[in-house]
Amino acid sequence: MNVSRNFKRIKITAKTAIAKPGNGQIGGGNTKNLLLVHNGRGYGREGKRYLVKGLRGLLNHSMMELAKQKGIEVCHSSDKKETQTGEKLLPDAFHPNGSCYPEEECIRHRLMGSMKKQSVLRFEPVVIVSDNITGEFEDAQKIHIATDKRNALVQGTKRSIQDFGERYIAGEFTYSIELLKEISLEEMGFLLKSILYMPELRWGASGNNGAGKLELEEVNLQEVMRTRTVKKGKVSEKENEKNLWKQMEEGLKAW
């Protein structure tokens, strides 16, 4: 017995020399940590799996910048025009997130959605494990993970006034964006060009200090057939991929 699903996705291979996509602080409040999703029992401390966040937000801002350069008004990431004190929140050429829907829906909202409408893009989780550990993992990608530790002392003493660390990652990883429905060539072109623009921005913390530079190595539009089979109670999964080069080129020309 088996079930199948046919869909399209964009598969991206990228690398970074150093990025700090932190997700808050661990207990004790002194380390900006990656989000722990699995403790890796049996593999030691290095076997812990972490969820890498911030890639959707990076693409979101890339879309906004690309549309602004072309003179097209799109949704901002904020759904408010101003603060409670009347301070303006939105730059020119943007409207509050979701305010264009449904009458004059902009191209960014058609793809990314808002509280008013579900996104047509589904970002697959990027789960990583330290490359210090040997072996291969089906549930995680191996990448360098370390902590940038910092401290500062009160002048003339050994008393610390700053003592904290930031987790950072470095290396190559792959992430995927599934298309939940068919999109137009114009929307495909906007999405692909926004992905290509992502290296112009910075990802995570310490962007002005050199962190968060993303380099793209491959971007592929694929048609995928995913099949799950159960035999004697055991489930196996298989994917057949087909690269859609022509559709990628047509999309890039359409926007």
Give per-residue pLDDT as tens, 61-113.
999 999 999 999 999 998 888 777 777 878 888 999 999 999 999 999 999 99
How many Å apart are CA 121 and CA 176, to the nearest integer? 10
For 130-143, how does the pLDDT look when each residue is reduced to its tens digit (9 = 90+)?
A: 998 888 888 899 99
Query: Residue 32 — pLDDT band, cuts 50, 70, 90?
Result: low
3-state secondary structure of 76: coil
CA distances from 196 to 15, 66, 76, 252 (A): 14, 10, 20, 11
The answer to whether residue 38 scores a pLDDT higher than 90 is no
Token reading at 186: 């114009």
Query: Residue 255 — pLDDT band, cuts 50, 70, 90?
Result: very high
CA 109 from chain centre, in angstroms, equals 17
Give strand pairing partners of 238. Answer: 227
How many Å apart are CA 199 and CA 212, to the nearest integer? 9
Q: Phi-psi category of 251—alpha, beta or left, where left has phi over 0 and alpha has psi -120 to 50?
A: alpha
How many Å apart are CA 97 and CA 115, to the nearest integer? 9
The Cβ of residue 152 has, within 10 Å, a number of other Cβ atoms equal to 10
3-state secondary structure of 218: strand
Q: Which residues contact 86 (CB under 8 A, 6 or more apart)?
A: none
* pTM greater than 0.85 (yes/no): yes
The answer to whether residue 44 scores a pLDDT higher than 60 is no
For 215-229, how does the pLDDT look when each residue is reduced to its tens digit (9 = 90+)?
A: 999 999 999 999 999
The answer to whether residue 162 scores a pLDDT higher than 90 is no
For 185-217, how does the pLDDT look when each residue is reduced to its tens digit (9 = 90+)?
A: 999 999 999 999 999 999 988 888 889 999 999
List the chain domain ranges: 2-254
**Which of these, 163, 124, 158, lies nearest to 141 by C-alpha position?**
124
User: Whole-angstrom distance between the N-terminal and C-terminal Cα of the chain?
Assistant: 43
Better-predicted residue by pLDDT, 144 or 161: 144
The Cβ of residue 213 has, within 10 Å, a number of other Cβ atoms equal to 16
For 96-106, how does the pLDDT look when each residue is reduced to its tens digit (9 = 90+)?
A: 999 999 999 99
ω into 102 cis (within 30 of 0): yes
What pLDDT shows up at residue 179?
A: 98
